[in-house]
Amino acid sequence: MRADGATTDSPGGPIVPTPIRVAVVIIYLEALALVGAAGVLVDKTITGHPDDVGRALFAALLAVAGAFVLVVCARGLMRLSPSARTPIVLLQLLALPVSYSLAFQAHRVGYGGPILVAALAVLFLLFTPPAREALDRSPRA
């Protein structure tokens, strides 16, 4: 590890700042939670009595698709691809009202709280100076 908190995967490879690495870990945990939520939806659809089986399975499919997008973008962040930051930021911004609604309006702090903390942490980490330096595009001459 260097003095600025950046690390490298291989000699001569790209230097990935620590804030990006921490953000990627959080994003992977979010993706894992989405896959878990999809599993719960499928289980409740099979063992319960859903009003609409198709809608319940579609919600599970959307959760898996969201997890896939998070994983692909997290891999892009590890390759220091500037284009990977935009979808991650957008998804984290969309998670903020959802988490607020769950935590404070639906009184489900156990569900909304971790989503809120994770979204705010990822947004903060991706806009720290080392992360911005690594991910910002240089102006074309």
Q: How confident is the model at residue 92 (pLDDT cuts 50, 70, 90)?
A: very high
Q: Average pLDDT in the 66-90 region? A: 94
Q: What is the pTM of this model?
A: 0.84
Q: How confident is the model at residue 12 (pLDDT cuts 50, 70, 90)?
A: low
DSSP secondary structure, 62-114, as one string:
HHHHHHHHHHHHHHHHHTT-GGGHHHHHHHHHHHHHHHHIIIIIS--HHHHHH
Query: Encoding tokens for residue 5?
Result: 């908190």
Query: Encoding tokens for residue 62?
Result: 């959307």
Q: How confident is the model at residue 25 (pLDDT cuts 50, 70, 90)?
A: very high
Q: How confident is the model at residue 4 (pLDDT cuts 50, 70, 90)?
A: very low
